[in-house]
Every structure is written in structure tokens, then in C-alpha cells.
Amino acid sequence: MNALRSENSGVSIVLCGQAGQGIQTVEKLLTSILKASGWNVFATKEYMSRIRGGTNSTLIRVGSKPVRGFINRIDVLAALDKSAGGHLAKRISPETVIMGEKEVLSGFGDTGSFFEAGFSQAAKDLGGKVYANTVAVGALLRLLGIPAEEVKEPLERFFGGKSDEIIEKNQQALQKGFEMAEKPAEDFGAGLKLSGEPDVQGRMLVNGAQAVGLGALAGGCNFISSYPMSPSTAVLAFLAQNGGGLGLIAEQAEDEIAAVNMAVGAWYAGARAMITTSGGGFALMSEGVSLAGMMESPLVMHLAQRPGPATGLPTRTEQGDLELALYSGHGEFPRIILAPGTLSEAFSLAKKAFDTADKYQVPVIILTDQYFMDSYYNTETFSLEGLKKSSYITKTDKDYLRYKLTENGISPRGVPGFGEGLVCQDSDEHDQQGRITEDLELRVKMNDKRLKKLEAAKAETVQPSLVGAEDYENIIVCWGSNYNIVKEAIELSGRSDTAMLHFSQVYPVPEKAIEKLKRAKKTAVLENNATGQFAKLLKLQLDFEPDEKILKYNGMPFAADALSEKINEMF
């Protein structure tokens, strides 16, 4: 049971079973109790595209140090269904403690340390099947070596608002679980040696979707129109549920085409609008990206990637849509693509997206993915410090020109009804007033004006972060959701000659990055796709070519532990 005492990577617990069996309840209860008692937690899930049945799993990591990424290793497996054995076979080792009901354990081979637990009987004794999940949580907490007294209060808080009877029953269920795991815990020598950090308690526990949603609100987002598509829907739902009190309008459009055209219309009238979608929906929105390009409309688009082409693997993860985001929409016009690596970055970049879009009147695309949307961990509470509502809207005068030719290409943007002028926006090539033109000289001027804005926007470029050894020999380049995975993999590899260069702005590629890349003896680009889309972009924009590419596209995220071995093989 060495794994259970790992200083660096804490304990890794996997819950596995069918959809509808209550995995999410266990996950929620366990993480909130652990976090409330001062433990760092991380959770992420992988699931099938179905509502009931199938085999789904959730990874929960607990540590006294921050734990923030996916790993393959399983220390404790709570199996709710026989199929867990086959589903997770490659991740189970002799040291994995597998707990579950008798008939569920029969679905496993010989590998693993087994702990037969009668959750349903215990629940029945307490008066109902509903308590089975709480019994399981009690057993897990005992295996982690967390004292029962410590979790009494957090449990009460979790069930806050429920009747005294329900709270009492759940306390008993938890206690039952503790007792059940008493002997196995001793047999397996389980228990965390580390202690929790009290200051974890006050931190936030959010997932990627919530971080993007909160960032959007901080960026002044007051309009969202979207059409549901996994894994992006959570942002729409989050804003619909939490934005109302802040005056946000949320509309489920009839399709993605309507959604994006609404968003451009809303910006025109002075709203700060966004859409959220996945690859298939973004493909439909291409015309809106192009419209924003021509109209010089600000637009914020959140694209949560999943494997394609077409409907692909609807509930899995991939970084396969960078090129879609980059080249979507016909014609030539500027855009900016951001890809947050951490939750706090998701907050700050979503906020920034609105400002940048507004200031330069360009589409800004936030690229995340299923893994990022569905993962959560405790993080520093997002700060609103220094937040000022920066409005770039001009009050118009009689002679107002929507597309006034200016030095840097940015024309003051008015909105209808605010001032004496008229605001005319056109999807056709237009003159300074916004009226259709077929003056070909003016066409060139207008095109130049639009493209020039990208140069201006470069002032706001988000520089990549270099993490790890200062005097590195090797660099692993990654972007978006791989931040925490690569960071941890390098730590686990124990290599002091290797660093990570993580890009949170993938387009335009920050030019200065080339200096850091050139200083490395050996470089690798790591991406969750099959063709190395960001590597291609690095070649195009920086004329940089890595020595290696590490690519994964089976629908699962990279695993920090497997990656650390790969690093040691490669460098």
C-alpha cells in the first residue's frame, strides 16, 4: 500500500459503475467532505454517451499538496458494477484496493486487493437503498485514514436544508461505512500519513465550465445564446442558472446558426454576448465567425472540444478543433484564440476575452475540451480586484461613421439609439458609413483596415508560461487543458533538466516564445490530437519544428504518471 502514502501524488480513488448508479453523488459528497476537512482534491470523469447503464468512471485524487490532473494509477477502486473490472483492467495493479459488493467483485480477475463490502444490506438495515452511497463514502474515508469526528460537520453541511432525520440517517450510514472498512484498512495498511491544510477549506472548488462561466460574468457577459451540445452545454446552463441576478439574458436558440447570429446582433445593440458550443456546432457557426469578421463585431465564442469528425465520441476529450477555430469562416480577417490551462486561467481569460473582443472588434475564441469542462479541483478564490467595467462604446454624433478608417484600423463603435448618429453594419463590403460598395480601391482599404487590427491586438498577447527547470535542456510544449498534466508528469519524472512551455494563447502565437524554444537542446510538442495541429501552427508562425511529437487521440486525456515514464524514455 505504498501508493496510499505517496507524498507527491496523494491517493487516487476511482468510482466505477453504470450511469444512474449514484457515482456522481458519491463523488460530490466525498470531494466536498474532503475539501471541507482541509484536503486538496481533484476529480474528473469519463463517461459514455448514454443516460443509463454503460460503464463510467470518476477519478478522485486527494492530497495534502495540490493534485490537479489525470493519472492512470488507481489506489482505491469503488466498484459499483461488474463491468468495472474489464473497463479498468489496464489501470488496476496488485496494490489497488478494490471494494464492492460480493457479486460485483466476481467480475474481477486475480489482480488487486479485495475488500468485500455489503453496502446495500447496510443501507437496507438503515431503512432505504438511498443510504448505500453514504455507506460507501464512509468506507472510503476510513481507508484514507480520516477520523470519523472530522467529517461529521462537513456531512451535515452537505445535507444542509434536509430534515434532521435525513441528516441523522446519513450520519449513521457514514458511521456504518467506517466500521465496515475498519479491518480492511488495517489489513491493507491504508491511511494517509499526510495532514490536511486548513487554508484549503476557504478555497473554491469549481470545474472548468463554472470557471469559464464566472470569467464570462466578470467580463461583463450579459447575453448568451446557444444550442446544447456536449461538453459545452454546462456553460450555457451555468449562465442560465446564475446570470439572471446579474441581468444576463440566456436563450436556447433553435440551432447554432441562430445562436451565433443572435450573438452578433446582441453586440451590435450593445450587449456583451457569447456563445458556447462544441466542434459540430462551431462548424455550423462558421458563417457567424465570418460575419463578425466583416462587420467588425466583437464576438466571444467558447468551443469545448470533443473527438470528431462529425459526431465523433460525444462525451470524450480531444484537442482536435484548433484548426477549425483557426480557419473557420471564409475570407481573411483577424481573430484571437485563447486556450486556458488552469481553472484560474479559465476565469481570467474568459474575462479578458470580452475586453479584447470589444476593444479590437474581433471574434475571440476560447478553446477548452471535455476533460477541462468536467474536471475540478480546489483553487485560489477568483479575484475581482481591479475589475473595472471598460466600455468601448462611443456615443455617436450626427456624422458618425461606423467604419471610419483609422491609423490602427479600430473605428469607434457606436450602438443604435445612443447618440445622434446612425449605426450601419454590413456583411457586404462597405464604405466608412457601412453602406454596400463595389469600389475596389475601397475594398482594399477596408480589408487592410480589418487585418491591421490583429497587429494592434498583439499588444494584448498572452505570453506562454515556462514551468519547471530554469536552466532546462528539454522543453515540452503544450497548450490548453494539458497544463496540469504535463506539469505533474515532469515533477513525477524527477527530471531537473526538463521544463514545460504552456501556451494559453494559441493564435496569434506569441512571437517571443521562439527565444525560449531555441534555448532547449531537445523539444517535444504534446497535444490531444492525431496530426499535431499546434505543432503545425508553430512551424507556420515561428518556423519552429520540434524533435518529437507526443500525440494522443483515443478520447482520453494524457495521464501524468504514464507521461512521466514517457519523458524519461524520450529525454
Partner 1 sequence: MNADKFDMGNIDIAWCPGCGNFSILDVLKDSLAELEISPEQLVMVSGIGQAAKIPHYLKANFFNGLHGRALSPATAIKVSSPSLTVIAESGDGDMYGEGGNHFIHTIRRNPNITNIVHDNMVYGLTKGQASPTSRPGFKTGVQINGVVLEPFNPLAVAIGLDAGFAARTSITDKELTKDIIKQAVRHNGYALVDLLQPCPSFNKVNNYKWFKENTYRLEDTHDPSERDRAFSLACKTDKLALGVFYKSQKPSFEENISAGPEPLHEKRLDTDKLESLIKSFAS
> By C-beta, is 392 or 553 nearer to partner 1?
392
d(CA 150, CA 521): 50
The residues with which 226 forms a beta bridge, in sequence order, are: 252
Span interacting with partner 1, options 59-67, 179-187, 205-213, 511-519, rule CB under 8 A: 205-213
Nearest distance in Å: CB 210, partner 1: 7
Tell me the number of residues near partner 1 by CB under 8 A: 65
Binding region for partner 1 (CB under 8 A) out of 173-181, 365-373, 424-432, 527-535 = 424-432
**What gap in Å lies between CA 77 and CA 114, rounded to an integer?**
10
The alpha-helical segments, DSSP class H, found in 296-416 are: 322-327, 343-360, 370-374
Decide whether 121 or 391 has the Cβ nearer to partner 1: 391
Q: Which stretch binds partner 1 (CB under 8 A): 71-79, 412-420, 468-476, 549-557?
A: 412-420
Q: How far apart are the first and last CA of the chain?
A: 30
Residue 199 as a binder of partner 1 (CB under 8 A): the answer is: no
Candidates 50, 162, 404, 435: give the one binding partner 1 (CB under 8 A): 435
Extract long-range pairs of 242-246: CB within 8 Å, 24+ residues apart: 242/213, 242/217, 243/213, 243/217, 246/217, 246/222
For residue 382, state whether it binds partner 1 (rule: CB under 8 A): yes
DSSP 131-185: GHHHHHHHHHHHHHT--HHHHHHHHHHHTTTS-HHHHHHHHHHHHHHHHHTHHHH
Query: Within 492-551, which residues bind partner 1 (CB under 8 A)?
Result: none
Q: What CA–CA distances, in Å, run from 489 to 256, 266, 560, 566?
A: 38, 44, 4, 9
Instruction: Decide if residue 218 touches partner 1 (CB under 8 A).
Output: yes
- Choosing from 122, 180, 214, 506, the residue that interacts with partner 1 (CB under 8 A) is 214
The distance of closest approach from Cβ of residue 154 to partner 1 in the complex, given in angstroms and rounded to an integer, is 11
Contact stretch for partner 1 (CB under 8 A) within 247-255, 364-372, 475-483, 560-568: 247-255
Return left, alpha or beta for 551; rule: phi > 0 is left, psi -120 to 50 is alpha, else beta. Answer: beta
- Grid coordinates representing 414? 457606436
Q: Confirm or reject binding of residue 386 to partner 1 (CB under 8 A).
A: no
Give the DSSP H/E element, type plus range, for residue 501. strand 498-503
Among residues 130, 284, 422, 551, which is the contact residue for partner 1, using CB under 8 A? Answer: 422
**Of residues 96, 222, 498, 529, which one binds partner 1 by CB under 8 A?**
222
- Dihedral over alpha carbons 300, 377, 17, 126 (to 10 degrees): -120
Tracing cell 476533460 back to the chain, one arrives at: 371
Residue from 182, 186, 187, 255 binding partner 1 (CB under 8 A): 255
> Is the CB of residue 56 less than 8 Å from the CB of residue 10?
no
Binder of partner 1 out of 209, 239, 253, 301 (CB under 8 A) = 253
Q: Which among 63-71, 261-269, 304-312, 459-467 is the span making contact with partner 1, rule CB under 8 A?
A: 261-269
Q: Give every CB contact of residue 452 below 8 A, 6+ residues apart in sequence.
A: 408, 409
Site for partner 1 in 98-157 (CB under 8 A): none
Q: What's the min distance (Å) between Cβ of 440 and partner 1? A: 15
Q: Is 333 in the site for partner 1 (CB under 8 A)?
A: no
CB of 341 to partner 1, least distance (A): 20
Identify the residue among 69, 421, 468, 546 touching partner 1 (CB under 8 A): 421
- CB neighbours of residue 417 within 10 Å: 9
Return the number of the residue (125 or 426) whose C-beta is nearest partner 1.
426
Minimum distance, C-beta of residue 337 to partner 1, in the bound complex (Å): 22
Per rule CB under 8 A, is residue 206 in the interface with partner 1?
Answer: yes
CB of 30 to partner 1, least distance (A): 17
Question: What single-letter amino acid sits at 15?
Answer: L
What are the cell numbers at 245?
A: 441576478
**Cα–Cα distance list, 449 to 343, 404, 405, 411, 470 (Å):** 35, 9, 7, 9, 41
Stretch that binds partner 1, among 39-47, 116-124, 414-422, 460-468 (CB under 8 A): 414-422
Show Cβ contacts of residue 560 under 8 Å, excluding neighbours closer than 6 positions.
9, 69, 70, 71, 484, 485, 486, 488, 489, 492
Under the binding rule (CB under 8 A), the answer on residue 387 touching partner 1 is: yes
Distances (CA, A) of 36 to 28, 145, 151, 171, 175: 12, 16, 8, 16, 18
Interaction pattern, residues 271-290, with partner 1; x per rule: CB under 8 A: xxx-------------xx--
Q: Which C-beta is closer to partner 1: that of 144 or that of 204?
A: 204
- Give the residue, chosen from 116, 125, 156, 426, that forms a contact with partner 1 under the rule CB under 8 A: 426
Nearer to partner 1, 16 or 212 (CB): 212
Alpha-carbon span 241 to 98, nearest angstrom: 38
Chain residues that interact with partner 1, rule: CB under 8 A: 202-206, 210, 214, 217-218, 220, 222-223, 225, 242, 245-247, 249, 251, 253-255, 257-259, 261-266, 268-273, 287-288, 291, 295, 381-382, 384, 387, 389, 391, 393, 415-428, 434-436
